[in-house]
Amino acid sequence: MIKILDIVIAGLLMGGIYALVAVGLSLQYGVARVLNVAHGEFIMLGAFITWSLYTLAGINPLVSLVICGPTVFIIGFILYRTVFTRLRTMSASPAAFEGNSMLACFSLLFIIQNVAILIWGAELKGYSYLPFAVNIAGAKFAANRLVTLGFALAIGVIFYLFLARTRLGKAIRAAAQDAGTAGLVGVNINHVLALCFGFGALMAGLAGTLLSMSYEIQPAMGLEYTVIALVVIVLGGLGSIPGSFIGGFILGLVGSIVIYIEPGLALVAYYVIFIVLLLVKPQGILGK
């Protein structure tokens, strides 16, 4: 009984991070139509900025959330206004834009990763923050992972409310449905799409900060998270925030079950889910 609870809670803790990572990508792909394969690099940037602030200046990682988020947001926003806006006007069709922008993201992946290696070196890095254990119903969990889960949920809820309740959120949802028509009814489409891409990067940055509290980090870590995010958004349905959270938690649970049975197969299991889903139900569990 304790064992099962153990696996479930470990899965939820992992799932929270997966969900947060996926929300950003879901926004970038669902609204801005950019399949950002460099998404993981923004996570890595967030993680390394937090690491630097903590080890060099002694700044609390939770304070870093406020620094990392906006920094990465600005990078994302500027990238969209320069690179992707140009690609969007240049591409003949939406499909051509998706292909071109994905390739541009690959080049960003190389560039960002190389810059990170030049700044921070290629080795694994880590620091310890809230490393003590917390007892939940007889099972022990690291405090930093619980804090991570709490923040991931809070960020998700805040963002969901922002999309559902504010005027800008409405504009974003309109742009997600039909960018052209949204432009016709007075939404400044270039601005909104760039904001969306920025928000996606912001989510990645926050996820990076939270991740760095409990996992080791290195410049090449990005791609693994990108792939996990892809699996989650395919699982939950492209562009759906509740879907990302449900997908994230499902994947976290699956991961923790597989790790319990055979630790080496977790990634293989994710890809199997991914591939089967694409074949059977590519629109995801919450998709129409």
The kind and range of the H/E element at 157 are helix 143-165
Site string for other proteins, 77-116 (x = CB under 8 A): ------x--xx--x----x--xxx-xxx-xxxxxx-xxx-
258 binds other proteins (CB under 8 A): no
Under DSSP, is residue 172 helix (H, G, I), strand (E, B) or coil?
Answer: helix
Cα dist from 204 to 42, 47, 88, 96, 142, whole Å:
6, 9, 23, 26, 22
E-state strands within 25-150: 133-136, 139-142
279 binds other proteins (CB under 8 A): yes
261 binds other proteins (CB under 8 A): no
Total length of the chain:
288
281 binds other proteins (CB under 8 A): no
Q: C-beta of 54: minimal distance to other proteins in Å? A: 26
Q: How far apart are CA 133 and CA 143, in angstroms?
A: 6
Q: Which two tokens stand for residue 24?
A: 């950003």
Q: C-beta of 271: minimal distance to other proteins in Å? A: 4
Q: C-beta of 105: minimal distance to other proteins in Å? A: 10
Q: Kindly report the backbone phi and psi dihedral angles of residue 52, in degrees, each rounded to the nearest multiple of 5, phi listed first.
A: -60, -45
125 strand-pairing partners: 217
Among the listed residues 267, 285, 286, 287, the single contact to other proteins using CB under 8 A: 267
117 binds other proteins (CB under 8 A): yes
Rounded-to-5 percentages of helix, strand, coil across the chain: 80, 5, 15
Q: C-beta of 112: minimal distance to other proteins in Å? A: 8
Q: Report how many residues bind other proteins under the rule CB under 8 A.
A: 41
259 binds other proteins (CB under 8 A): no
Q: Can you give the binding site for other proteins, defined by CB under 8 A?
A: 29, 35, 83, 86-87, 90, 95, 98-100, 102-104, 106-111, 113-115, 117-118, 223, 227, 230-231, 234, 262, 264-265, 267-268, 271-272, 274-275, 278-279, 282
